[in-house]
Amino acid sequence: MITQPAQHQPLEPVEKFTGELSTTFREYILLPRCTRSETDIRHVSMQTRISHDMALQIPLMSAAMEAVSGATIATALARHGGMAVLPAGNVPLEHQLEELKAVKRFKAGFVESVITVTPDTPLHQLLEMETRHGFSTFPVVDQQGKLVGLITEKKYHPSRDADLVVRERMIPLEKLVVGRHGISLSEANDRIFESGIGVLPIIDEEGKLRSVVFFRDLKHHHLYPDALVDEHKRLRVAAAISTHPEDRERARLLVDCGADVLVVDASDGYSEYMRDTLVDVKKLGVPVVAGNVVDRDGFRFLAENGADAVKVGIGSGSICTTRRVKAIGRGQATAVSVLARAREEYLAESGRYVPIISDGGIESTGDMAVALATGADVLMMGKYFAGFEESPTQLLTKRLPVLFSGNMTEVEVNVKPYWGEASPRAKNVRRYQQDDPRAFVIEGEEGYVLYKGSLHKHLPRDLRALQGTLSSCGCRNLREFYRYVRLERQSAGSQQEGGTNIFRM
């Protein structure tokens, strides 16, 4: 049943103030509980849900921002059990689809959407394909789709053989180890070792190529046992759309291309536009995340109109100026706690659990812990992921002024550009429901974040810190963490006391 927005009623003067105090995550501290053997850090699960029938191995998502989420970081995050949201905004549909395909190709037991070449493909084209797609092994098929060979970068010289064609350097079919369609993944992995080249083409009875198994995927499985994969063993990834009517077709194409989740991206999700979008895209058969909202009414509106998860947060991002420009929003700790209560209330009434995704307001692993304790099922972050090597922006070196021994000096630091979707650089008119770019209201800033290195190095450490928090609070999982942990509001002095104040050389 479609739920209509509530009719606005005039408020009495005494009703104009909610009685709530807008608070942030860093204003709170968690009180420890007894750590038992079953809540030892080794036994703490970070699994959560993004919908009633889809789990995440870790409660982290990267935001749908051009400076944050691309195919590389989506692949890296999914390997650790989280999920990225590929942005729409000002991104052409073709680029968003290519990014999506790159993620879905990266990890799979049986890769079905493999890129092939023909015997007459010029070898110089392979170099371009390697650069574009990020891999260097291609099955060779004839016009009927039958496998006739395999070409790898080791079989030709990039400059000396540039004028040759694939048939002159490929490994012919009779010298390949192949698998028959229907073979198990375990058997396929065993046969890969026989091949000596780390690739096993899978063909059917007619000799047509059906899929390919790569040794690298077997290796990745051992390195990343908690990778977030779909039923075809492909990495999971979400894709953003706007509430604009023309994005209904974008949504369909994204789902056809393999998007596991659709995120309807709007700065204010409590609207008729969001309702109409939900009604349409829910028919596509994948979980749909809607938002952003900050109160009970907004949550109920989205949940009752079919949202599988609700995104919470307005004006809480580090580069978001919505509260200053429009005086709209809510402190993120208050918003999450209010929506968590609404979620539990809705669960009791309907029997349907609608997860909430906290979007913004996080600066540290301590903030992450408080956000989860306040009731967030998933944490969506931009700045946190923007500084990683895998984010789509370019690594730069900047000279920054610092105060040292009473004197101003400059030091060189590595940084990556970071900008908001409502910044002058992005002007994401579709997300902010502003039809005229010339009159775009700026609600975001742009700048730089410090370069942190690889996600693969830092994310496991931060997850370990979160597991340590749950362990110290006597909790085995995130649901227990929300239900049992106690929070205490800190004074300014307490916050200062909890920080470091040593002199660093």
Q: What is the mean pLDDT of residues 70-87?
A: 97
Average pLDDT value for residue range 230-258: 95
Residue whose tokens read 């968690």:
30
Among 107-121, 211-225, 226-240, top mean pLDDT goes to 226-240
The pTM assigned to this predicted structure is 0.79
Mean pLDDT over each residue of the chain, to the nearest integer: 88
State the residue for tokens 């990014």. 99
Look at residue 470 and give its three-state secondary structure: helix
Give 431 or 340, the one with higher predicted confidence. 340
Local confidence band at 449 (pLDDT 50, 70, 90 cut-offs): very high
Phi-psi region of 472 (alpha: psi -120 to 50; beta: other; left: phi over 0): alpha
Residue position matching structure tokens 């307005």: 314
Q: CA 382, CA 48: separation in Å to the nearest integer?
A: 20
What does residue 316 show for φ and ψ, rounded to 5 degrees?
-100, -10
Phi, psi of 286 (to 5 degrees): -120, 160
- 465-490 pLDDT, tens per residue? 999 999 999 999 999 999 999 999 99
pLDDT band at 196 (very low <50, low <70, confident <90, very high): confident
Catalytic residue among 210, 320, 343, 430: 320
The domains of the chain, with CATH numbers, are: 36-106+228-492 (3.20.20.70), 123-219 (3.10.580.10)
pLDDT of residue 23: 95
Contact 323, 336 (CB under 8 A): no
Active site residue 320: yes
- The average pLDDT across 11-35 equals 88
Residue 339 corresponds to which tokens in the numbers above?
A: 């929506």
Higher local confidence (pLDDT), 193 or 28 = 28
Identify the pLDDT of residue 197. 73
- C-beta of residue 227 within 8 angstroms of C-beta of residue 235: yes
How far apart CA 258 and CA 101 sit, in angstroms, is: 8
Burial 65-88 (b: 16+ CB within 10 A, else e): bbbbbbbbbbbbbbbbbbbbbbbb
| The pLDDT value given to residue 108 | 59
**Start-to-end CA span in the chain (Å):** 63
Angle between helices 296-304 and 332-350 (to 10 degrees): 40
Annotation marks residue 296 as catalytic: no
Query: 111 or 453: whose pLDDT is higher?
Result: 453
- Rounded average pLDDT over 176-187: 88
pLDDT for 153 equals 87
SS (H, E, C) 174-232: HHCCCEECCCCHHHHHHHHHHHCCCEEEEECCCCEEEEEEEHHHHHHHHHCCCCCECCC
pLDDT higher than 50, residue 418 = yes
Three-state DSSP state, 317: coil
Task: Say what the pLDDT of residue 115 is.
Answer: 85
Q: Determine the average pLDDT of the residues in 25-54.
A: 95
What does the angle CA 388 – CA 389 – CA 395 come to, to the nearest 5 degrees? 105
pLDDT of residue 355: 99
Give DSSP secondary structure letters for 331-372: -HHHHHHHHHHHHHHHHHHHS----EEEES---SHHHHHHHH
The answer on pLDDT for 151 being more than 80 is: yes
* Structure confidence at residue 86 as a pLDDT band (50, 70, 90): very high
pLDDT per position as a tens digit, 291-308: 999 999 999 999 999 999
Q: Which of 26, 105, 210, 431 is catalytic?
A: 431
The model's pLDDT over 310-322, given as tens digits with 9 standing for 90+, comes to 999 997 655 555 5
H or E, element range at 458: helix 455-472
Q: What is the dihedral of CA 357, 360, 364, 367, to 10 degrees?
A: -60
Please give the residue that has the higher pLDDT: either 173 or 317.
173
Question: Within 13 Å and on the Cβ side, how many CA atoms surround 282?
Answer: 19
Residue recorded with tokens 């809705």? 346
pLDDT digits (tens, 9 = 90+) for 345-387: 999 999 999 999 999 999 999 999 999 999 999 999 999 999 9
Across 131-135, 286-290, 419-423, 491-495, least confident range: 419-423
